[in-house]
Structure 1
Amino acid sequence: MTTATRTTLLRSQRYRPWWPARHRPATLSLALAAIRDHVADTKRNEAQRIDEQCLINKWNSGNDH
């Protein structure tokens, strides 16, 4: 491997995210669901707000999901 190739490889790896982008929405959804479930017993309105604003797509119809 040449020095130029090694430098290019190291430079490209430096800017790569440490976690693949496709996992971020799923992780965020799981975290929001856990927060919603945690506050559901004490703050019913907050749990419903998290559910409706962040976790449910009200405009989804048919097989859009």
Structure 2
Amino acid sequence: MGAPAPSPPEFAVLLRLIGLLLVVWLVLSIIGAVIEGLFELLLVGVALFLATAAYGWLKKDDRG
């Protein structure tokens, strides 16, 4: 089946990491939008932001 749910301290670290990744992806997206020549960076930033948010949402649901 699936891996056991992480213990509370590990879960807090996981949430902090996911939060940090969301901030990084958001910053990359904004930089890509501001600097028109880096439109690809905007697309990558948005894709990674959405993927990280979805992963965090799924992990949150696993905890109950």
Task: Please give the TM-score of this superposition, normalised by the length of structure 1.
Answer: 0.47
Task: Please give the TM-score of this superposition, normalised by the length of structure 2.
Answer: 0.48
Structure (1 or 2) with the larger CA radius of gyration: 1
Q: Which has a greater percent of helix? A: 2
Q: Point out which structure has higher relative CO (alpha carbons under 8 A, 6+ apart).
A: 2
